[in-house]
Amino acid sequence: MIEVEKMGKPAIPIVSGRFEGDAVASSRAFGMPDLKWVIVPRIYRNLAHDLCASQTVAAMDDIVKILTASGDTSSRKTGPEPTSVERFEGDDRWDAVLRMNQEFMKRDLGDGFLLHPPTKQAVAALLKGTRLAADTVVCDMPPGFGIATVEKIAVNAALAGAKPEHMPVIIAAVKALSKVGGHGGKSLLMSTSPNAPLLMVNGPIGKKVGLNPRSALGPGRDNEINIVIGRAFYLCLKNIGYWYPNQMDMDTIGTTRKFVMCVAENEAASPWDPYHVDQGFKPNESAVTVFVTDGELDVQDQGNTTGEGLLKNLAYGSTFGTRSIQDKGGGERLIFIPPDVAGPVGKTFTKKQAREFLHKHCYHSLGKLIQYMPLKGEARVAKNWKWLENLTEEQLLQITVPVVDGPESFYLAVVGADRAKTAVFPSGPSPATVGIDQYLP
């Protein structure tokens, strides 16, 4: 609607009730804070046609009123602008920290866990972890495109309890997100689906700062650094990118993957070049990759010992989910392969050959994969898939198709400890990798 307004045509979005906070935040972020809209009670998707019609008819008078009114008809309140310095007092320092946490959580500035005080001293210490000046603009950060300066990144890193040596990784991850897909993956970050970033570090810095490349996606002492760096990134995404729940993050149910984790690839246990080398970096350079994931499945193997057997099982394990028949393509798969799988596979297959093998064997019934979207009526089907509308359900079920478009849609990285348990994540848009060394002090 903002783009329509920019063309000189009046536009009145119809906003479902739960999405009013999203409309307020989005209109501000995308450059038209005075955009007007009307509210209807129900979300249109999956709503019976008669209810779609009745709630739209009921909104027509409001639409006409806004189109013909003069002056500001909005009663929206955006709240006070935050100050640059805030002071919290208590019976002692711990009580002051608790009061700070209580206030920050009222404003939804945290992730639900205890925040560290981002004092001037803490931020100054973090700024020493990079060669960049505090006012350097790293990028505009999606989905709300706030300006990510080094100082703002340091403030959020301080909230997470990060250390100066973590700053180059965090800065590079913020930069990488801005390069993911179109507009930093904005549409997926704002989706009602549980899309979430996942960070992976390659190169010497992973070991230097203590990232765990083994059982890397869980809680506990071994993953302290994985958690701290991922948490700092999330707080940047929230407080710089405006990724606030019920504003610009409209998840229907949510996901624990939004407690973002940062892992290191287990390069020492890999039979292949590490992931960042595939992206054009040298082995002795460090880089971070941001993937956007949309679920997770543990693919267990109970006895295959050959590369072919392990990959066939993994290919079948990658068939879960749906297959898009819209213009956006068939999706992608991020696969974390533990050493007990990567070793035997690497004896038989190069990484390129492994991706090709997975694509060849990752087939499923088209009828099953598209049951999430009925073909009859007004389904948003791409032109090249329109022929499906004339087939019966039985015919659709008999057609087999690759779950993803091509071998390049599989992203393979060796992550994990001993045991043949592989993690498969539906993912997309395509990830982005950014070098870390340029941000070192």
Do 64 and 126 fall within a single domain? no
- 311 belongs to a structural domain: yes
Name the band, by pLDDT with cuts 50, 70 and 90, for residue 45.
confident
Cβ partners under 8 Å of residue 259, min gap 6:
111, 230, 231, 234
Helix axis angle, 339-348 relative to 307-317, nearest 10°? 120
- 101 belongs to a structural domain: no
- 6 belongs to a structural domain: yes
Tell me how far apart the alpha carbons of residues 182 and 200 are, in angstroms, rounded to a whole number. 20
Contact 164, 174 (CB under 8 A): no
Tell me how far apart the alpha carbons of residues 422 and 219 are, in angstroms, rounded to a whole number. 18
**pLDDT value of position 76:** 52
Tell me how far apart the alpha carbons of residues 190 and 127 are, in angstroms, rounded to a whole number. 30
**pLDDT value of position 82:** 58
> In total, how many domains does the chain have?
2
Do 409 and 337 fall within a single domain? yes
Give mean pLDDT, residues 285-302. 95
- 110 belongs to a structural domain: no
- 174 belongs to a structural domain: yes
Do 57 and 129 fall within a single domain? no
**Local structure of 112: helix, strand or coil:** coil
Give the bridge partners for 423, in sequence order: 298, 336
Do 158 and 44 fall within a single domain? no
Checking if the pLDDT of 328 tops 50, the result is yes
* 31, 53, 68 - which closes a domain: 68
- Report the percentage of the chain scoring pLDDT > 70: 95
- Torsion angles phi and psi, residue 326, rounded to 5: -100, -175
Name the band, by pLDDT with cuts 50, 70 and 90, for residue 63.
confident
Q: What is the pLDDT of residues 210-250, one digit of tens each?
A: 999 999 999 999 999 999 999 999 999 999 999 988 888 88
Do 125 and 62 fall within a single domain? no
Checking if the pLDDT of 332 tops 50, the result is yes
The count of C-alpha atoms lying within 13 angstroms of the C-alpha of 218, restricted to the half-sphere facing its C-beta, is 9
Do 60 and 125 fall within a single domain? no
Q: Which of 11-20, 324-333, 383-392 comes out lowest in average pLDDT?
A: 324-333
Q: Please provide the DSSP assignment of 404-419 as one string.
A: SSSGGGEEEEE---SS
Do 33 and 141 fall within a single domain? no
* Residues spanned by the domain of 193: 120-362+403-439
- 114 belongs to a structural domain: no
Do 182 and 44 fall within a single domain? no
> Scanning the structure block, which residue is given the tokens 């700092």?
232
Checking if the pLDDT of 116 tops 70, the result is yes
- 383 belongs to a structural domain: no
Token pair of 416, please? 């994990």
Do 223 and 292 fall within a single domain? yes
Do 43 and 182 fall within a single domain? no
CB 429: neighbour CB atoms within 10 A? 20
Of all helices (H) and strands (E), which one includes residue 141?
strand 137-141
Q: How far is CA 338 from CA 271, 308, 422, in A?
A: 11, 16, 6
Token pair of 80, please? 């006070």
Q: What is the pLDDT of residues 142-185, one digit of tens each?
A: 999 999 999 999 999 999 999 999 999 999 999 999 999 877 67
Q: Is the pTM of this model over 0.85?
A: yes
- Report the percentage of the chain scoring pLDDT > 90: 66
Token pair of 185, please? 């993956």
Do 44 and 150 fall within a single domain? no
Cβ partners under 8 Å of residue 13, min gap 6:
1, 23, 35, 37, 38
* 68, 86, 105 - which closes a domain: 68
Q: Tell which residue, 74, 72, 69, has the closest CA to residue 15.
A: 74
- 329 belongs to a structural domain: yes
**pLDDT value of position 73:** 47
Do 24 and 163 fall within a single domain? no
Tell me how far apart the alpha carbons of residues 64 and 73 are, in angstroms, rounded to a whole number. 12
